[in-house]
């Protein structure tokens, strides 16, 4: 049986099939349920259909990392940083830069 939150989100999506928040919430819900296949479906739909929805890039990158696809994660973080710069979203840019640095092995500390 599907959980109530997921069922409600799918119902919302039927009424508003292009609502970015609903798509993002579905991706996040599937991710929290460890349903990576469906999480990827909705995150990738957001990236393809709504590339300016900046929050997607961080979470999609993290999902790629979780699945052992570091190169794809790095690519997504780079696209997200470019999008965040274009939107002048410095908070998102900072988060994406940190995730990128970590994935690329650039997050070292001085001894």
Residue 89 is predicted with a pLDDT of 96
Q: What is the pLDDT of residues 26-85, one digit of tens each?
A: 999 999 999 999 999 999 999 999 999 999 999 999 999 999 999 999 999 999 999 999
The alpha-carbon radius of gyration of the chain (Å, integer) is 15
Each domain of the chain, given as residue ranges in start order, spans: 4-103
| 14-23 contacts at long range (C-beta below 8 A, 24 or more positions apart) | 18/49, 18/50, 20/46, 20/50, 20/53, 23/50
**52 secondary structure, DSSP code:** T
Q: What is the pTM of this model?
A: 0.89
25/83 Cα distance (integer angstroms): 20
Check pLDDT > 80 for residue 9.
yes
Q: Comparing C-alpha atoms, which of 15, 3, 44 is closest to residue 27?
A: 44
| Three-state secondary structure call for residue 97 | helix
Q: Report domain 4-103's class.
A: mainly alpha
């Amino acid at each position: 049986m599907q959980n109530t939150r997921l069922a409600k989100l799918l119902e919302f999506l039927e009424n508003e099939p292009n609502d970015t928040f609903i798509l993002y919430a579905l991706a996040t819900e599937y991710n929290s349920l460890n349903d990576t296949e469906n999480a990827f479906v909705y995150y990738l739909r957001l990236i393809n259909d709504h590339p300016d929805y900046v929050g997607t890039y961080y979470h999609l990158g993290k999902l790629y990392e979780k699945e052992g696809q570091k190169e794809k994660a790095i690519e997504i973080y780079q696209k997200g940083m470019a999008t965040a710069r274009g939107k002048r979203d410095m908070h998102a840019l900072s988060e994406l830069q940190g995730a990128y640095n970590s994935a690329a092995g650039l997050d070292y500390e001085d001894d």
